[in-house]
Amino acid sequence: MDIPAEVTQSAFSQLLGCKVVSLEEGRAEVSLALTPPLRNRGGVLHGGALFSLVDIAMGLACSTSHGFDRQSVTLECKINYLRPVAEGEVTCVGRVIHAGRRTLVVEAEVSQAGKMVAKAQGTFAAL
């Protein structure tokens, strides 16, 4: 899918440094490099930054499913953090697993060098 960056990136995703890697119907892949401002007090990637990456990828997956002309908003999301990220870049793949008229259920996996870092599932409303 070839969608202009001004449609796929928000000011917040740009602030974090998220980069859209690929978009397909019902699927979005987004990467995030660990930079000093994204570290927590322990020196690793802050869970809030990781959660934001997940939310961005899942939201984009929704948009590829119902169209970028409609907004989608997060109704709920659950995340499991599996391992810390001390350096480098992570990639998140968001996938729509159910697309209804009003709500979508989406899952996401964050990985680094072939190892899963986090797993999430959320529900989004299509406006």
Cα 77 from Cα 126, distance rounded (Å) = 15
pLDDT of 3 reads 62
Q: Are 94 and 32 in contact (CB under 8 A)?
A: no
Binning the chain into helix, strand and coil, the percentages to the nearest 5 are 25, 45, 30
- CATH at residue 121: 3.10.129.10
pTM: 0.93
Cα 20 from Cα 30, distance rounded (Å) = 4
pLDDT of 11 reads 87
Give the domain extent around 14: 5-126
Count how many domains the chain has.
1
Average pLDDT of the residues of the chain: 94
